[in-house]
A = this chain, B = another copy of it.
Amino acid sequence: MANITKKVSWSSRADESAAAGEATPLLNGSEQPQHSRQVRLAWKLTWGDSLRGRPKEIPHNEKLLSLKYESLDYDNIENQLFLEEERRMSYMGFRCLEISRWVVCGLIGFLTGLIACFIDIVVEQLAGIKYQVVKENIEKFTEAGGLSISLILWAVLNFTFVMVGAIIVAFFEPIAAGSGIPQIKCYLNGVKIPRVVRLKTLVIKVCGVICSVVGGLAVGKEGPMIHSGAVVAAGVSQGRSTSLKRDFKIFEYFRRDTEKRDFVSAGAAAGVSAAFGAPVGGVLFSLEEGASFWNQMLTWRIFFASMISTFTLNFFLSIYHANPGDLSNPGLINFGRFEGDVRNSNILYFLVSRLTLFFLSGLLGALFNVLNYWLTIFRIRYVHRPCLQVMEAMLVAAVTATVSFTMIYFSNDCQPLGPESTEEYPLQLFCADGEYNSMATAFFNTPERSVRSLFHNQPGTYNPLTLGLFTLTYFFLACWTYGLAVSAGVFIPSLLIGAAWGRLCGILLASITSTSSIWADPGKYALIGAAAQLGGIVRMTLSLTVIMVEATGNVTYGLPIMLVLMTAKIVGDYFEEGLYDIHIKLQSVPFLHWEAPATSHWLTAREVMSSPVTCLNRIEKVGTIVDILSNTSTNHNGFPVVVQVPGSDEPAKLCGLILRSQLIVLLKHKVFVELARSRLTRRKLQLKDFRDAYPRFPPIQSIHVSQDERECMMDLTEFMNPTPYTVPQETSLPRVFKLFRALGLRHLVVVDDENRVVGLVTRKDLARYHLGKHGLEELQLAQT
């Protein structure tokens, strides 16, 4: 391990981001390395270059672990107040709680469904207007010959929408950018991503996704639904809005991380369910991406939220489509009905002869990820100011419009416009009367509709050249788009790319082999291609299989879909991680994977823990506490509480654990021993006071403690967690990891055989170790 060379708090972004109003939330601090462990920088810092004091060699972010992220506490703080409340509660009280949990899940599902419905309707209306205007304009100028004006009109329309979308995201809530799935993954994993589940984020996200989809970017509105569902869940379950300063005085019991996480799982599942009409898929998504401890009742509630969500969306869309009760829109995307059972066709033949093709899918997915990886690194380095981000988004919008227009302009793929044609905006352009330009159709559609056309249109609707060009363009556009400062998902672009090349393969194969089975239909290939491409990019298998099967509505496609997803994952993993994992890594999030790295048995708690630990006495001087909390160079969040046997010189024993947030509340309410004695009528501090302060505890600087008060004492007995989990120093890393991960811990105290505190293990201490190409690697910690 590299020796400590320099003690620098250096950030690649902090200087700019602070200037641009992105206050880095360092006040509440994070579980940082302790005094003795200094921040290690493996790369050489060469200062004094022209670039405003920036080092020339820029660190690879994926080799860093950021210290700015706090952890969530998924282990209940069982202090005396909590236990008293639990013991007071009757059996009926617990039943009521259980019922209110179901009510909350129902509400989450309902609201998520409503939001999905809102997005869908607004996008459809706005996009309809846009296509209509552009179409009329093109038709006007096709004969007259001023098509460049149409291009400009189109580009300006897209431009405007994307600009609005990018501005609100970049300037008001940068966390609303992208699909939000990596952020929700982190949240469920136990990392507190600042502002990720706030109301403001939700509003920006919804507006942003509408703008970017209407703006014609290569994006989908499905991914953001998952984030939206999670925000709804985090809001509804708390029974108040901190942003709006409204407290409904309900669901107060749920105001802690443990309960909130469960509801956020349900919200994410409801989001998937609304996006794809896949309630079971939603449950599996939540479990595959987030949960670690599986609880049957929780799963059922998640399932309930998912059901309500898809049902709400379905019901309101049926009313919107003036056909109430016709529940044919269970999700934002509808793959349409696939006829023809795979069961009855010769699947074996298909598997043996075609499977080789699907290796391609893994490769394409990996290529997408690698390109996006480099692009993201570029963005982190050079495109970090909001104005630059907005400009990039507008550039992409302009390029998208231009490329689309060029391709439409030069394509001559004319298709007959039959009465059964389902195209809403068929463009004649240079085609003969009664025909339409099929390339234009592919671009003149919301991506959802394009996917459906690729799945279901008759063989012969698209010619191979059109498809090939479309795949190529859309691939690069989608890759460029993901990671822009706009709210947008990657599911639909992936499906669209996959469907296009899948259909292309289908057409080519059909022309070679002339088989008469069900697989002669290129639409089936489009489905398989779509699954493969999506799987190659996001690398989920179980939940994605179920989502695809539920969206398809035909179980018999399950087996081929599973097979291509597995293939795509295996091939893709060989080259690069999944897209979401890449983005999590590039954000330097201390993400805990499912298991400790395989070869980490040689590490023990002694090596990974931080030490020495700042401990508090059970009855501690207020001044000491304030000083410790104010020390910005350490910024600890959890403090072991120790007790010294009076009159003995034995070392102090561990007797509890207390959090920074608890101490802040205690200081704010001035729970000092002396004051309690003098003012007997003073109200005793209750659990409610902690819940009221949750989750935005004030910083220590905002709490005034007078010089007299500094001399008072604070008794922590009632408030500390008297039974923190502990491990001996010899415990191996995998064992520590398992305990930490299975119980969702935030702090794990390491003790010696006399029960004295010798160290503290936090999330960063565990996330630091990962399996690289050359065995076990240790990530660097940075203040970024």
Q: Could you tell me which A residues sit within 8 Å of B by CB distance? A: 76, 78, 83, 86-87, 89-91, 94, 279-280, 283, 287-288, 291-297, 299-300, 303-304, 307, 311, 315, 324-328, 330, 337, 341-344, 346-349, 541-542, 545-546, 549-550, 552-556, 558-559, 562, 566, 594-595, 598-599, 601-602, 653-655, 722-723, 725-728, 730-732, 735, 738-739, 742-743, 751, 753-755, 771, 775
Cβ-defined contact, A283 with B775, below 8 A: no
Which residue of chain B has its CB nearest to the CB of A299? Answer: B542
Q: A327-B347, A549-B555, A725-B739 given. 10 additional CB < 8 A pairs?
A: A94-B598, A283-B542, A292-B294, A297-B595, A327-B559, A341-B553, A555-B555, A653-B753, A725-B727, A742-B743
Q: How far apart sit A439 and B327, CA to CA, in the bound complex (Å)?
A: 38
Cβ-defined contact, B347 with A598, below 8 A: no
Contacts of A304 in B (CB 8 A): 566
Contacts of A295 in B (CB 8 A): 594-595
Q: How far apart sit A343 and B342, CA to CA, in the bound complex (Å)?
A: 21
Q: How far apart sit A628 and B328, CA to CA, in the bound complex (Å)?
A: 70
Contacts of A348 in B (CB 8 A): 315, 324-325, 327
Which residue of chain B has its CB nearest to the CB of A556? Answer: B553
What is the distance, in angstroms, from A742's C-beta to the closest C-beta of chain B?
A: 4
Contacts of A90 in B (CB 8 A): 599
Q: How far apart sit A140 and B295, CA to CA, in the bound complex (Å)?
A: 60
Q: How far apart sit A728 and B656, CA to CA, in the bound complex (Å)?
A: 10
Q: Taking each of A296, A599, A602, A655, which has the highest tally of chain B beta carbons within 10 Å of its own beta carbon? A: A296
Contacts of A728 in B (CB 8 A): 722-723
What 6 pairs between A and B have smallest CB-CB spacing?
A: A86-B601, A94-B598, A723-B731, A742-B742, A325-B348, A294-B294
Cβ-defined contact, B542 with A550, below 8 A: no
Q: List 12 A-B contacts (CB under 8 A).
A: A94-B599, A279-B558, A287-B287, A293-B293, A293-B742, A297-B594, A303-B562, A311-B559, A327-B347, A653-B754, A738-B743, A751-B755
Q: Taking each of A326, A341, A742, which has the highest tally of chain B beta carbons within 10 Å of its own beta carbon? A: A742
Contacts of A288 in B (CB 8 A): 296, 299
Copies of this subunit: 2
Cβ-defined contact, B83 with A601, below 8 A: yes
Chain A residues touching B, majority SS: mixed
A723 touches which of B344, B554, B598, B735 (Cβ 8 Å): B735
Contacts of A83 in B (CB 8 A): 601-602, 732
Q: How far apart sit A66 and B559, CA to CA, in the bound complex (Å)?
A: 44
Which residue of chain B has its CB nearest to the CB of A752? Answer: B755
A296-B594 in contact given A735-B723, A738-B743 (Cβ < 8 Å): yes
Contacts of A542 in B (CB 8 A): 280, 283, 299-300, 303
Q: How far apart sit A212 and B347, CA to CA, in the bound complex (Å)?
A: 35
Cβ-defined contact, B743 with A739, below 8 A: yes
Which residue of chain B has its CB nearest to the CB of A569? Answer: B300
Which residue of chain B has its CB nearest to the CB of A732? Answer: B78
A730-B722 in contact given A542-B280, A598-B94 (Cβ < 8 Å): yes
Cβ-defined contact, B562 with A307, below 8 A: yes
Cβ-defined contact, B341 with A325, below 8 A: no
Cβ-defined contact, B291 with A294, below 8 A: yes
Cβ-defined contact, B300 with A294, below 8 A: no
Q: How far apart sit A771 and B94, CA to CA, in the bound complex (Å)?
A: 12
A294-B293 in contact given A91-B771, A722-B728 (Cβ < 8 Å): yes
Q: How far apart sit A546 and B283, CA to CA, in the bound complex (Å)?
A: 12
Q: How far apart sit A716 and B674, CA to CA, in the bound complex (Å)?
A: 53
Cβ-defined contact, B325 with A344, below 8 A: no
Contacts of A753 in B (CB 8 A): 653-655, 755
A559 touches which of B307, B343, B347, B727 (Cβ 8 Å): B307
What is the distance, in angstroms, from A349's C-beta to the closest C-beta of chain B?
A: 7
Q: How far apart sit A562 and B297, CA to CA, in the bound complex (Å)?
A: 15
Which residue of chain B has its CB nearest to the CB of A350? Answer: B325
A546-B654 in contact given A291-B294, A325-B346, A328-B343 (Cβ < 8 Å): no
A553-B555 in contact given A293-B292, A344-B328, A722-B730 (Cβ < 8 Å): yes
A541-B723 in contact given A546-B280, A558-B280 (Cβ < 8 Å): no
Q: Taking each of A349, A549, A559, A775, which has the highest tally of chain B beta carbons within 10 Å of its own beta carbon? A: A559
A87 touches which of B549, B555, B602 (Cβ 8 Å): B602
A279-B311 in contact given A288-B299, A292-B294, A541-B303 (Cβ < 8 Å): no
What is the distance, in angstroms, from A580's C-beta to the closest C-beta of chain B?
A: 13
Cβ-defined contact, B325 with A347, below 8 A: yes
Which residue of chain B has its CB nearest to the CB of A295? Answer: B594
What is the distance, in angstroms, from A105's C-beta to the closest C-beta of chain B?
A: 12
Contacts of A735 in B (CB 8 A): 76, 78, 723
Which residue of chain B has its CB nearest to the CB of A599? Answer: B91
Q: How far apart sit A24 and B303, CA to CA, in the bound complex (Å)?
A: 43
Contacts of A287 in B (CB 8 A): 287, 294
Q: How far apart sit A144 and B539, CA to CA, in the bound complex (Å)?
A: 70
Contacts of A725 in B (CB 8 A): 727, 739
Contacts of A86 in B (CB 8 A): 601, 732
Q: How far apart sit A451 and B107, CA to CA, in the bound complex (Å)?
A: 38
What is the distance, in angstroms, from A206's C-beta to the closest C-beta of chain B?
A: 26
What is the distance, in angstroms, from A89's C-beta to the closest C-beta of chain B?
A: 7
Which residue of chain B has its CB nearest to the CB of A87? Answer: B602
Q: How far apart sit A49 and B47, CA to CA, in the bound complex (Å)?
A: 96
Contacts of A291 in B (CB 8 A): 294
Which residue of chain B has its CB nearest to the CB of A541? Answer: B300
Q: Taking each of A288, A346, A723, A743, which has the highest tally of chain B beta carbons within 10 Å of its own beta carbon? A: A723
